[in-house]
Amino acid sequence: MPRKASTVNCAAVDLGATSGRVMVGTWSQNRLELSEVHRFPNGVRQVGNHAYWDIAGLWEQVQQGLEFAARSLPAGEELASVGVDTWGVDYVLVDAKGRAVYPTHAYRDDRTQDGLKALTDDPGALRKIYRTTGIPAIFLNSSFQLAETVASHPAITTTAKRCLFLPDYFNFLLSGKMTSGQSIAGTSQLLNVKTGRWSRAVLKYFRVPTGWFTPPLHSGVNLGRTRNIPALKRTRVIAVPGHDTTCAYDAIPAAADGTDILISSGTWSLVGMENDRPLLSDGAIAARVANDQTGRGDYRPLVNVIGLWLLEETLKDFKSRPSKASEWTKLINAARALPLSEHLLDVKDPVFGNPASMRQAIDNQLKRRRLKPPVDLTAYVRLICDSLGQGHADVIANLAKLSGRTFKRIIMVGGGSQNALLCQATADAAQLPVMSCQLEGSAVGNMANQLIALKAVKNLAEFRGYLSKQLKIKYFCPA
């Protein structure tokens, strides 16, 4: 195993809903140096009335990126390990040999609405399942997806032998081992939040075969050497927390006393806290708190708020939109110069989930309230950022009430942390200072778990301590 004084090279495969990347991290003298060696687009493929992921295309890009990663190192050095994180809930159904036997639907597919309605119409079942799993009833949950698949195609229960969540599937392609990581399994609404094991009662409710799953692995398990990628023949596959949100939170240098609110701001805004127990009260059910499992025995109660998806999709309706950093800065600064939005969007409105036109969806919501839509792109940006900031603040207030905790600071990472307007809007709405960290959140957390598994660092607290000394930080004080 590498010694602390050694130089250790790791590769993080970090897959998001709109893009993927492969990054190399070099750990030397208690510092992490990052290099992005490959970035590629990702997106939902609409076929008829359903939405899918191009899994084969992603795997091709992952392999290419890992080959780039190996070639990027100085002569004589090699990758010690690789870890994979992805968005939550989606999965691949495979046969006993790992061959995919069913197309991989994307979580934005609305095929689950009937199942969602059935559960929400049964308050007793809704409460029982929430208190068992710690996951709110949301249309995108793996539970509803799997239930719909089994109901629509019953023969799949004999054809498929395993259900591999996306990071587990890519770990299988890399290592040849089919496993279930606790972090990513925790997003499914099928795992017992207190025991970390699959809930037979919940699996029975959704009519999902228990045989599709194996006992969840804790974070940091060594799955063995990679296969079929010659440049990585000595590289170990580490089962890092497969959920990108868990990885992103791992990278955040949060205060040990639990008084920080953590926001991972990207396509979604994940607003949460660190806790030694899940939040499972009726209030938590109403607030739709998802109890993220770290795979180490602790929890991050958090709430999904629609995030930069609102802005990303709105931009598609404008011919003239920013394409490089300087243009983004100019647009954000122009939006900051506008007055505070007098009326805000209801960011919880389900119409923003996957509309044909986000601009039209925004306009329609405003018109229903007898309000005028923004006049240009700059005004849309101002409205969206102000609305997202208030959405963050509403969640923070609710988490304080549910946990009985007083929060002193907000730490933001991810793409939204580089949006000065969004950071300021969050600070103003929550009346808390925002610490914006220029941090490749999920990729860094991915690497942190690899380094812990390789014994290059002792634990997450030690890693955070070292990392905090090299971060670029900006503060936004509430007005």
Looking at this protein, which amino acid is placed at residue 428? D
The whole-angstrom separation of Cα 145 and Cα 210 is 15
Q: In 47-66, which positions are buried (b, 16+ CB within 10 angstroms) versus exposed (e)?
A: eeeebebebeebeebbbebb
- Percent composition of the chain: helix, strand, coil (DSSP 3-state, to 5): 40, 20, 40
Residue 420 neighbours by CB under 8 Å, 6+ apart: 332, 333, 336, 476
**Cβ proximity of 455 and 305 under 8 Å:** no
Residue 291 neighbours by CB under 8 Å, 6+ apart: 134, 135, 186, 193, 278, 279, 280, 299, 300, 301, 302
Residue 156 neighbours by CB under 8 Å, 6+ apart: 93, 101, 102, 149, 150
The whole-angstrom separation of Cα 218 and Cα 414 is 25
Q: Where are the beta strands (DSSP E) in 177-283?
A: 221-225, 236-239, 260-265, 268-272
Looking at this protein, which amino acid is placed at residue 26? T
Question: In terms of residues, how long is the chain?
Answer: 479
Residue 221 neighbours by CB under 8 Å, 6+ apart: 179, 238, 239, 453
Q: Is 390 exposed, middle or buried (0-12, 13-18, 19+ CB in 10 A)?
A: buried
Selecting among 244, 260, 386, 428, the annotated active-site residue is 244
Q: Compute CA distances 21 → 17, 307, 325, whole Å.
A: 11, 20, 18
Choose among 63, 62, 43: nearest CA to 106.
Answer: 43
- List, in sequence order, every residue forming a beta bridge with 105; answer none if it has no partner: 52
244 counts as catalytic: yes
Which residues are designated catalytic? 244
